[in-house]
């Protein structure tokens, strides 16, 4: 199943300062709920994500990297690919960031999408959609929190 | 069924169970009736280090009178509750809702408190318990505390019960003499509720004096339709009179979209079924 | 016509009695042996590693951790077996130029559907195998997946890049070309009324009760495979052909099998894999699937788009029918996958006298679980479409749908009738079945109630649905199968063995998996040989005992296999006759055989005669036989039918639709089936009831749904909403009888009838209830939501495919796109957050 979420918010800081924060992969990766970043460079990071929800507890191991990064236009696309432990299937996430000056501050457009295959997607009743929805929401909220907090 | 390997403990007392929870932290899962945990283990969507089976703890079994309330212990199965004269007499709404839970085999295994802690918004127990202003009795390392049902359900599969705590009972104030109806909307009988409406009303002289309405699967937790409840008070207990109050029940809710229906459809049906549930509860 | 017809109804005869099934005690109590009950010395347990993705290249498989896991004996991947596994068989290439990819049991370098096996683990316990299977680490490089049938037909992405197209084959029948009728294009050109509709046959899952299971023992001279299969004989042959093993070195046993519905008419990857692992390890191996695996990877059924064009005169006489199908094969061709839609080719014209007919079906690959036979196989699809079309024609003409059918159907005086497809319908009486059904249903009164509800604007509307169906069953005359390129014949084999004690063993090539053959065959043989019902033992399902057969599917067992049993029994009597004559000191021609005894014609009622049991003992001893007589009464027979049998019936359904919620409730269901003579009415009732529920389930409940990644999201019974008895009503069933002329018993098949007939009756009824809102179609299953949207928006709301629901959480304009929690300091999401009321 695939999900996509758009979120827009404004930050008091300048686009340049915001950009520096947003392109710190350790910070961005760590914002994913349940994520632990185990290593990070300027270009990529590795880590794991533990999704724990009610009766479900699954762990993904994966890596993320920039697939697109335009420091001038303040646009970046980060892709993460997680492989579920115990034959779970895969999960992938794509985050598209776009910053634009707005007044004194910055307007941030964040588009996140997520694909889940395998067992969790078969759990039933669309529950994993709700879960992914929630995870993406928390992720964006965390990013926003880091920038505005 | 072949779940991943786990350790198993069957403590005899609540304090032993709490000690095990404290020891194992998030590696532990509590098993009461197993009707939610086992399917997940079977699908291998979890691999707990230890399963703590609380079904042998005598002190949390039974259904008893507790002042103005009926106390349902964590060991009580759906069927135990259905068979309880106390529940039939004082908690008609809960009784009606439990008759709609899955099938006889599940009702003989699954527990009411287990379902509450599982907090599946599509489960049939949350809405009536919430509507009836229940109090949740939670025991933890610091002793016992009580949480109102309205503060209990936090989010999808999330409750106020901490990782080191157990829900040991639910106390539900008696609603003796109230009319009640649980309207469960399903495509096949053994299905989870597409939506469900739990309605209890107290009718005085043909007029609704008090109303309580809980909603199943209309959001990430069971919901209480307080605005509908307020609008119903003073209305004649007839279909025409309650229709308007019930029609907007879906407003402000955020129901899921899945194979059984999109969110807008659920909101619409909720309006129809709330009316029907209230009329049925009022004896119409 | 047949001996059965003329026979006086005597209580002593077994055929026609509602015998309780002799197999039920052991089946119901579980005191029997299913494949999964098998325990062999040193047996290993297998677990499959399956692809979680729909289409991908396998770039690496690391089996190290799995191999090191406790109790693991072997881990095999596609690379390990690629030169051994062959390609899974497809016995029905429908055209000379049919395209198909190789069908590996274990994917080698590419997976083409989610659920495909990529590796197998063999371990000392089932738990160890399952645990280790999770440790097999597979790297996939995603390829574009094609999931939707029409997109696949347009080659928007390729399910198998090497094929260059998703189109496997196109099969055409045209009555003008075949010389069996006129030109459809001319009929459409000259028609007063043309009705064109497109219907969707959703994807279904057979969902048999016993999950699949296979055990292979390689330790004897023969490889012995026990499998939960409908087709032990076909499986044995195909194992030999696929794996290059001598057929004589393979024995297949289908022990008690818990249902199939076509879902076990297959040679499965798992059967091949279990064989390979057993051979590799030299130890007995068992594989038993979980229910999740079963729903995911056992073959699915149906899945077609159907476009129909019907031409008629203003007076309602039909003049032509054009059928254009797209059929979803899924990712591979199974045993009879491509032929399933073709089995419907001769049935769209149904009971109606179409003078011109054209059928074209294009088989298409997608990256989904492959499809194959499912109860009715091709005929439910045809029946649904034509019965929906007859209703549409009636609506178009403003006439009662039953009247329009009556005007066009074959009348009972017209039998035998050669159809526009060239089939000869041997017998039937549509008027009689319909008359009886209308009477039981209260057709006129229900129509009046419907009118009242419409006029009063009742919240609950009533709809009446009709299905006057026929089907072809008793697969099949071998020469017909030959003309359709099918890879085998359609005969059946039987043996009757007379034991010295007078007991009788009947060996049948039919392979029961819940049908009650043991009971029915016993009844037939008891009558034929005049022995007690209890004295007949029916043996089947083991190629070492029943060495020859073509198994059970397509409502063929009784009409083909039953006839083979009769033929064998008749041979026994013929073989016994010379001995009887010898003992009675009479001329062979003067003997008659009744109720198990030979007597001399005209010798009076008080003569003792000689019984078959006594003769059997005499033959066993062989001390005193006529000169030159072989000391055996046993006989074999192989029967090849000359024609199909054509059951028919009239099914009437009343549905109440709650217009406020879209929920529908079945009010009544009446079916009057003509299945010819009946061997056991109780078994027939069981088949009819079960068939009805399965057909109704297609109309109302079941659908296999994939999400946009190609994951089966209706992968458990939580979402694959299989009905139970709690969801169904009491059906009213009755029968009329026009005996079949193609077998001695005068019987027609009944195993699929209910499933074939009921689906359109239900959908027609739902539509009939809400036509006044401008609705002329609803996709199956007719969920409350679809019905409600149809009422709200007329046609537009009814046709939204379920696939969108699978990913519906972020549907355009839906309010649930908001992230939970506060929207941020100055944040705004693309849609507004509504306040909770809790």
**Where residue B40 sits, what CATH number does that domain have?**
3.30.43.10
B76 and B47 share one domain: no
Residue B147: inside a domain? yes
pLDDT value of position C832: 26
| CA–CA separation, C59 and C61 (whole Å) | 7
The nearest alpha carbon in chain A to C827 belongs to A9
Q: How far is B223 from chain A (nearest CA, A)?
A: 17
Answer whether A52 touches B (CB < 8 Å).
Answer: yes
Which chains reach chain C with 3 or more Cβ–Cβ distances below 8 angstroms? A, B
Residue B265: inside a domain? yes
Rg (CA), chain A: 15
Chain C CB contacts of A116 below 8 Å: 709, 711
Look up the domain containing B12 and give its range: 7-53
**CB-CB under 8 Å, A57 with B46:** yes
Q: Which residues contact B158 (CB under 8 A, 6 or more apart)?
A: A53, A54, B119
Mean pLDDT of A27-42: 90
pLDDT value of position C3: 41
Which class for C162: exposed (0-12), middle (13-18), buried (19 or more C-beta within 10 A)?
exposed
Residue B1: inside a domain? no
The nearest alpha carbon in chain A to B116 belongs to A54
* Cβ-nearest to B122 among A54, A57, A125: A125
**CB-CB under 8 Å, A148 with C52:** no
How many residues comprise chain B? 284
Q: How far is A23 from chain C (nearest CA, A)?
A: 20
Q: With 70 as the cut, is the pLDDT of residue C142 above it?
A: yes
The nearest alpha carbon in chain C to A140 belongs to C819
Chain B CB contacts of C726 below 8 Å: 103, 188-190
| CA–CA separation, C433 and C735 (whole Å) | 7
Tell me if residue B280 falls in helix, strand or coil. helix
ipTM, two decimals, is: 0.96
What is the percentage of chain A residues whose pLDDT exceeds 90?
35
Q: For residue C115, give Cα distances in angstroms to C75, C126, C368, C712, C717.
A: 18, 19, 9, 9, 17
| CA–CA separation, C213 and C665 (whole Å) | 37
| CA–CA separation, B180 and B100 (whole Å) | 14
How do residues C205-222 score in pLDDT, each as one tens digit? Answer: 999 999 999 999 999 999
Q: With 80 as the cut, is the pLDDT of residue A33 above it?
A: yes
Residue B121: inside a domain? yes
Q: Which residues contact B251 (CB under 8 A, 6 or more apart)?
A: B227, B267, C834, C837
Q: With 50 as the cut, is the pLDDT of residue C187 above it?
A: yes
Residue B2: inside a domain? no
Answer whether A90 touches C (CB < 8 Å).
Answer: yes
B145 and B228 share one domain: no
B68 and B155 share one domain: yes
Last-in-domain residue among B153, B173, B193: B173
How do residues C438-487 score in pLDDT, each as one tens digit? Answer: 999 999 999 999 999 999 999 999 999 999 999 999 989 999 999 999 99
Q: With 50 as the cut, is the pLDDT of residue C576 above it?
A: yes
Whether residue A38 contacts residue A46, with contact meaning beta carbons closer than 8 Å, is answered with yes
Q: How far is B67 from chain C (nearest CA, A)?
A: 27
Domain range annotation of chain A = 2-148
Q: At C2, is the pLDDT very low, low, confident or very high (cuts 50, 70, 90)?
A: very low
The reported pTM is: 0.94
Last-in-domain residue among B151, B173, B195: B173
Look over chain C and give the mean of its residue pLDDT values, rounded to a whole number. Answer: 93
Task: List phi, psi (to 5°) of C531.
Answer: -110, 160
Residue B120: CATH number of its domain: 3.30.465.10
Residue pairs between chains B and C whose CB atoms are closer than 8 Å = 110
How do residues B110-156 score in pLDDT, each as one tens digit? Answer: 999 999 999 999 999 999 999 999 999 999 999 999 999 999 999 99
| CA–CA separation, C37 and C258 (whole Å) | 13
Q: For residue B230, give Cα distances in angstroms to A79, B82, B128, B208, B227.
A: 49, 30, 17, 10, 5
Alpha helices in C23-112 (DSSP H): 24-29, 64-68, 78-81
B113 and B163 share one domain: yes
**CB-CB under 8 Å, C296 with A10:** no
| CA–CA separation, C266 and C89 (whole Å) | 9
pLDDT value of position A1: 67
Q: For residue A32, give Cα distances in angstroms to A39, A95, B159, C70, C539.
A: 15, 11, 22, 35, 62
Other C-beta atoms closer than 10 Å to the C-beta of C813 total 8
| CA–CA separation, C311 and C25 (whole Å) | 54
Q: Which residues contact C137 (CB under 8 A, 6 or more apart)?
A: A83, C61, C62, C63, C65
**CB-CB under 8 Å, B261 with C783:** yes
Q: Which residues contact B194 (CB under 8 A, 6 or more apart)?
A: B185, B186, B187, B217, B260, B261, B266, B269, C784
Mean pLDDT of B88-94: 98
Residue B243: CATH number of its domain: 3.30.390.50
User: Which residues are paired to A3 by β-bridges?
Assistant: A114
Answer whether C785 touches A (CB < 8 Å).
Answer: no
C407 sits in which H/E element: helix C401-408
Q: How far is C764 from chain B (nearest CA, A)?
A: 19
Strand C648-658 versus strand C664-674 pairing type = antiparallel
B240 and B151 share one domain: no
Look over chain B and give the mean of its residue pLDDT values, rounded to a whole number. Answer: 96
B258 and B218 share one domain: yes
B88 and B21 share one domain: no
Rg (CA), chain C: 29
Total domain count, chain B: 3
B113 and B167 share one domain: yes
Give all domains of chain C, ordered by start, each with its CATH number. Answer: 429-473+645-810 (3.30.365.10)
How do residues C744-771 score in pLDDT, each as one tens digit? Answer: 999 999 999 999 999 999 999 999 999 9
How do residues A11-22 score in pLDDT, each as one tens digit? Answer: 888 898 889 888
**CB-CB under 8 Å, B192 with C802:** no
Q: Does domain A2-148 have CATH number 3.90.650.10?
A: no
């Amino acid at each position: 199943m695939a999900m996509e979420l758009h979120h827009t918010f404004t930050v008091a800081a300048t686009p340049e300062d915001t950009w520096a924060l947003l392109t710190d992969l350790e910070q961005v990766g760590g914002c994913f709920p349940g994520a632990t970043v185990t290593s990070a460079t300027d270009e990529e990071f590795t880590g794991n994500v533990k999704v724990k929800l009610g009766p479900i507890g699954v762990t993904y191991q994966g890596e993320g990297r920039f697939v697109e990064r335009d420091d001038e236009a303040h646009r970046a696309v980060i892709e993460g690919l997680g492989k579920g432990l115990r034959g779970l299937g895969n999960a992938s996430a794509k985050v598209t960031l776009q910053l634009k000056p707005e007044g004194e501050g910055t307007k941030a457009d964040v588009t996140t999408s997520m694909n889940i295959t395998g067992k969790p997607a078969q759990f039933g009743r669309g529950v994993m959609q709700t879960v992914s929805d929630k995870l993406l929401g928390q992720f964006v909220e965390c990013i926003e929190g880091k920038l505005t907090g | 069924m072949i779940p991943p390997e786990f350790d198993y403990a069957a403590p005899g007392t609540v304090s032993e169970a709490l000690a095990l929870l404290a020891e194992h932290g998030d590696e532990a899962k509590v098993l009461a009736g197993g009707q939610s945990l086992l399917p997940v283990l079977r699908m291998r969507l979890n691999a707990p280090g230890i399963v703590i089976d609380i079904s042998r703890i005598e002190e949390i079994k039974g259904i008893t009178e507790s002042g103005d309330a009926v106390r349902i212990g964590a060991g009580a199965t759906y069927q135990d509750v259905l068979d309880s004269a106390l529940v039939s007499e004082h908690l008609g709404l809960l009784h009606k809702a439990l008759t709609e839970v899955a099938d006889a085999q599940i009702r003989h295994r699954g527990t009411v408190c287990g379902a509450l802690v599982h907090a599946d918004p599509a489960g049939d127990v949350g809405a009536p318990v919430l509507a009836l202003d229940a109090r949740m009795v939670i025991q933890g390392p610091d002793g016992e505390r009580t949480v109102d049902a309205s503060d209990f359900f936090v989010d999808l599969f999330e409750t106020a019960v901490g990782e080191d705590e157990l829900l040991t009972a639910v106390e539900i104030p008696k609603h003796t003499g109230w009319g009640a109806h649980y309207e469960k909307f399903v495509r096949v009988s053994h299905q989870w509720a597409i939506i469900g409406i739990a309605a209890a009303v107290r009718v005085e002289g043909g007029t609704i004096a008090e109303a309580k309405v809980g909603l199943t699967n209309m959001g990430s937790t069971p919901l209480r339709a307080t605005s509908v409840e307020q609008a119903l008070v003073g209305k004649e207990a007839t279909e025409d009179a309650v229709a308007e109050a019930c029609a907007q029940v879906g407003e402000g809710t955020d129901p899921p979209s899945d194979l059984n229906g999109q969110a807008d459809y659920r909101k619409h049906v909720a309006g129809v079924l709330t009316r029907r549930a209230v009329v049925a509860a009022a004896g119409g | 016509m047949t001996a059965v017809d003329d026979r006086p109804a005597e209580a002593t005869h077994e055929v026609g009695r509602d015998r309780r099934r002799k197999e039920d005690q052991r089946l119901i109590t579980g005191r029997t042996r299913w494949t999964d009950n098998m325990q062999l010395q040193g047996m290993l347990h297998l677990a499959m590693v399956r692809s979680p993705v729909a289409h991908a290249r396998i770039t690496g498989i690391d089996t190290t951790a799995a191999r090191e896991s406790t109790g693991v004996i072997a881990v095999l991947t596609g690379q390990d077996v690629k030169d051994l596994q062959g390609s899974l068989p497809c016995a029905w290439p429908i055209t000379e130029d049919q395209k198909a990819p190789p069908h590996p049991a274990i994917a080698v370098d590419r997976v083409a559907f989610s659920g495909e096996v990529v590796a197998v683990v063999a371990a000392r316990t089932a738990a160890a195998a399952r645990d280790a299977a999770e440790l097999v680490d597979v790297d996939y490089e995603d390829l574009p997946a094609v999931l939707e049938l029409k997109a696949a037909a347009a080659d928007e992405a390729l399910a198998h890049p090497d094929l260059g197209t998703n189109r496997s084959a196109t099969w055409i029948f045209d009555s003008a070309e075949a010389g069996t009728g006129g030109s459809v294009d001319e009929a459409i050109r000259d028609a007063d009324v043309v009705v064109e509709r497109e219907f969707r046959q959703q994807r279904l899952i057979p969902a048999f009760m016993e999950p699949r299971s296979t055990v292979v023992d390689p330790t004897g001279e023969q490889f012995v495979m026990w499998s939960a299969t409908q087709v032990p004989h076909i499986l044995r042959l195909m194992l030999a052909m696929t794996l290059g093993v001598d057929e004589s070195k393979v024995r297949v046993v289908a022990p008690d099998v818990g249902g199939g519905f076509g879902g076990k008419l297959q040679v499965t990857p798992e059967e091949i894999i279990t064989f390979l692992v057993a051979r590799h390890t030299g130890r007995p191996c068992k594989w038993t699937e979980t229910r999740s695996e079963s729903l995911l990877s056992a073959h699915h059924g149906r899945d077609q788009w159907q476009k129909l064009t019907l031409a008629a005169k203003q007076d309602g006489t039909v003049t032509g029918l054009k059928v254009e199908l797209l059929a979803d094969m899924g990712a591979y061709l199974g045993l009879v996958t491509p032929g399933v839609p073709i089995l419907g080719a001769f049935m769209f014209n149904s009971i109606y006298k179409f003078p011109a007919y054209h059928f074209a079906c294009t088989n298409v690959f997608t990256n989904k679980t492959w499809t194959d036979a499912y109860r009715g196989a091709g005929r439910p699809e045809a029946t649904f479409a034509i019965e929906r079309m007859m209703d549409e024609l009636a609506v178009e003409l403003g006439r009662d749908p039953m009247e329009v059918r009556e005007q066009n159907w074959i009348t009972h005086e017209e039998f035998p009738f050669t159809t526009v497809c060239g089939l000869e319908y041997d017998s039937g009486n549509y008027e009689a079945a319909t008359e009886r059904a209308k009477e039981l249903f209260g057709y006129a009164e229900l129509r009046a109630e419907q009118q009242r509800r419409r006029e009063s604007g009742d919240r609950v509307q009533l709809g009446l649905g009709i299905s006057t169906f026929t089907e072809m069953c008793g697969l099949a005359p071998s020469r017909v199968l030959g003309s359709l390129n099918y890879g085998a014949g359609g005969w059946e084999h039987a043996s009757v063995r007379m034991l010295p004690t007078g007991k009788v063993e009947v060996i049948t090539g039919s392979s029961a998996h819940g049908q009650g053959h043991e009971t029915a065959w016993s009844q037939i043989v008891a009558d034929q040989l005049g022995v007690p019902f209890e004295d007949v033992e029916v043996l089947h399902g083991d190629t070492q005992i029943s060495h020859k057969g073509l198994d059970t599917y397509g409502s063929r067992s009784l009409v083909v296999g039953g006839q083979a049993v009769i033929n064998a029994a008749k041979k026994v009597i013929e073989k016994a006759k010379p001995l009887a004559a010898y003992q009675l000191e009479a001329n062979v021609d003067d003997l008659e055989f009744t109720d198990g005894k030979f007597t001399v014609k005209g010798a009076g009622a008080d003569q003792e005669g000689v019984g078959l049991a006594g003769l059997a003992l005499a033959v066993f001893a062989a001390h005193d036989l006529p000169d030159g007589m072989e000391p055996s009464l046993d006989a074999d027979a192989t029967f090849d039918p000359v024609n199909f049998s054509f059951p028919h019936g009239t099914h009437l359904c009343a549905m109440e639709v709650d217009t406020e919620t879209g929920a529908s409730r079945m009010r009544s269901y009446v079916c009057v089936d003509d299945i010819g003579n009946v061997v056991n009415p109780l078994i027939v009732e069981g088949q009819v009831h079960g068939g009805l529920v399965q057909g109704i389930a297609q109309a109302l409940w079941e659908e296999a749904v994939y999400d946009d990644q190609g994951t089966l999201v209706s992968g458990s019974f939580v979402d694959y909403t299989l009905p139970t008895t709690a969801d169904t009503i009491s059906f009213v069933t009755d029968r009329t009888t026009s005996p079949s002329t193609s077998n001695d018993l005068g019987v027609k098949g009944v195993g699929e009838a209910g499933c074939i007939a009921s689906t359109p009756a239900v959908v027609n009824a739902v539509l009939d209830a809400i036509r006044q809102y401008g609705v002329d179609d609803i996709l199956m299953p007719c969920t409350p939501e679809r019905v409600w949207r149809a009422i709200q928006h007329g046609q537009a709301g009814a046709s939204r495919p379920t696939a969108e629901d699978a990913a519906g959480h972020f549907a355009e304009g839906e309010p649930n796109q908001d992230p939970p929690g506060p929207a941020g300091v100055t944040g705004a999401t693309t849609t507004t957050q509504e306040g909770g009321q809790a």
